[in-house]
Amino acid sequence: MPETRVLGRQRNAKKSKRLASQPISRPGLFAGRTRILTTGFRRSCSEGRPARSWKEASRASVLLVSPPETTPAYFDAHLHSDGLSNQDLCSMTVFGLKAALVPARDAVCDSVKDYLAHFQGLIQLQAKRLEKIGIRPYAALGVHPARIPWHGLEEILAAVPRLAVAGRLVAIGEIGLEKGGAREEQVLERQLELAQELGLPVLATTPERDKLRLTRRLLAILRSSNLAPESALVEHANAQTIKTIRECGYRIGLSVNPMHLTAAEAAALVRTYGSDGLVVSSASGDGASDILALPHTASVLEEQGLSPLIIRRVLGENACVFLRVGKDVLTR
């Protein structure tokens, strides 16, 4: 064996030993609450045992931490896992993530081929990856309003029922409006029809720009479809739009991340509007993200005196009800 390789191994062994004795601390993360994460070591979390070597730990690319004694269970109903590392996802499981909905997104999809590859990737690759890490995977497929292809829409949508056979498809999404206009509305209406044909709920996105006007337009289109109100989750709601969405009877999605709401803002909306039909997600993996959005929101809700029942609902159970998934995914 070449000498350099032996030396490399010795160095790796030393590095492994050093890492195994290093505490990983997150001071101040949950100040005032039970100390959730204090020490930890690297290991392979997919196999539930410590890594045998630094090489194996690096390959698994995950972080082992001592699990908190009382970890709540979360369902992230909007998680772009294809934009997150294994280490991020594994850290999320340590903080209580049990299940996630991975929707199709504003990916670089300009052709039928790109879209089909994106869909396949979510249904197969991402689902297997999440499962291995310990997160129950669910998928939503659809054409995002920011990436409507010039040609081949019907060909893309025809693939959705075929992929539903895999059993992981539980919703159509993300669909919705981005800038508005006839073409976006036409594509949205077509996908609402598809959702009804397949008997699936929809994940309907709203944009940051011109939010109130486009949310109102989205609601009008949802209302003119035959989709039952409880079958649509209107995503990225904020203080400006939540009242109108609630009045129309649709489920409300609050996204806690640097692009949308802070945990405190989401908690204030939960306090004001109650937990009925409210689903808090991280929407992480697409742009600026906060992988600890759900535990952080739970912490703020708890500090503000909201009951464990409300916290469980908005961070897990309401997502299960919306997606028609058994609540037992949160306890497994």
| Nearest-approach distance from CB 283 to Zn ion, in angstroms | 5
- Nearer CB in complex with Zn ion: 286/290: 286
With residue 294 as reference, give the H or E element that holds it. helix 293-303
Interaction residues for Zn ion, span 101-120 (CB under 5 A):
105
Tokens linked to 229? 């109100």
Q: Where are the beta strands (DSSP E) in 250-314?
A: 251-255, 278-281
- Nearer CB in complex with Zn ion: 286/317: 286
| Nearest-approach distance from CB 123 to Zn ion, in angstroms | 17
- Nearer CB in complex with Zn ion: 56/106: 106
Nearest to 315 by CA among 38, 71, 33: 71
User: Does residue 174 have a cis peptide bond before it, meaning omega lies within 30 degrees of 0?
Assistant: yes
Which range binds Zn ion by CB under 5 A, 50-58, 148-156, 186-194, 278-286? 278-286
Q: Which residues have CB under 8 Å from 332's CB, separation 6+?
A: 98, 136
Residue at 168: amino acid letter: R
x/- track of binding to Zn ion for residues 60-99 (CB under 5 A)? ----------------------------------------
- Nearer CB in complex with Zn ion: 235/317: 235
Which range binds Zn ion by CB under 5 A, 115-123, 182-190, 223-231, 279-287? 279-287
Q: Nearest 5°: CA angle at 122, between 214 and 54? A: 125
| Nearest-approach distance from CB 144 to Zn ion, in angstroms | 8
- Nearer CB in complex with Zn ion: 16/205: 205
Tell how strand 251-255 and strand 278-281 pair up.
parallel
With residue 76 as reference, give the H or E element that holds it. strand 74-76
Chain residues binding Zn ion by CB under 5 A are: 105, 286
